[in-house]
């Protein structure tokens, strides 16, 4: 994850971009197979206190198999925590 702006101690909103690898394990009957995906996303951490905040994120997963590309999109809301107040 890379923050778009430098982190300031009094900054409430911290936008970020992210990307990487995702692995899925799919069970079908008695077998399990692995599906490899690339992911990308953008989001925002909104710090309510120095250590706790809310996170809103959009993430897309891409898979290219057998000449076809599959897209899986997700919108996530969660709690953000940092180990020390900045």
Give the tens place of pLDDT for each residue, 24-76.
Answer: 888 888 888 888 889 999 999 999 998 899 999 999 989 887 778 888 899 99
* Domain-embedded: residue 35: yes
8 Å CB contact between 59 and 18:
yes
Tell whether 4 is covered by a domain.
Answer: no
The answer to whether residues 63 and 69 touch, using CB atoms and an 8 Å cutoff, is: yes
Query: Total domain count for the chain?
Result: 1
> Residue 60: inside a domain, yes or no?
yes
Query: Is 80 exceeded by the pLDDT of residue 80?
Result: yes
| Distance of alpha carbon 13 from alpha carbon 6, whole angstroms | 11
Instruction: Note whether residue 6 is domain-resident.
Output: no
The residue range of the domain holding 26 is 12-81
32 lies in some domain:
yes
Residue 20 confidence class, pLDDT cut points 50, 70, 90? very high
């Amino acid at each position: 994850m890379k923050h778009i702006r430098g982190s300031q101690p009094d900054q409430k909103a911290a936008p970020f971009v992210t990307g990487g690898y995702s692995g899925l394990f799919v069970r079908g009957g008695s077998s399990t197979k692995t599906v490899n995906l690339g992911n990308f996303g953008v989001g925002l951490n909104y710090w309510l206190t120095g250590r706790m905040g809310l996170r809103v994120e959009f993430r897309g997963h891409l898979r290219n198999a057998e000449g076809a590309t599959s897209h899986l999109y997700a919108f996530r809301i969660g709690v953000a925590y940092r180990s020390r107040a900045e």
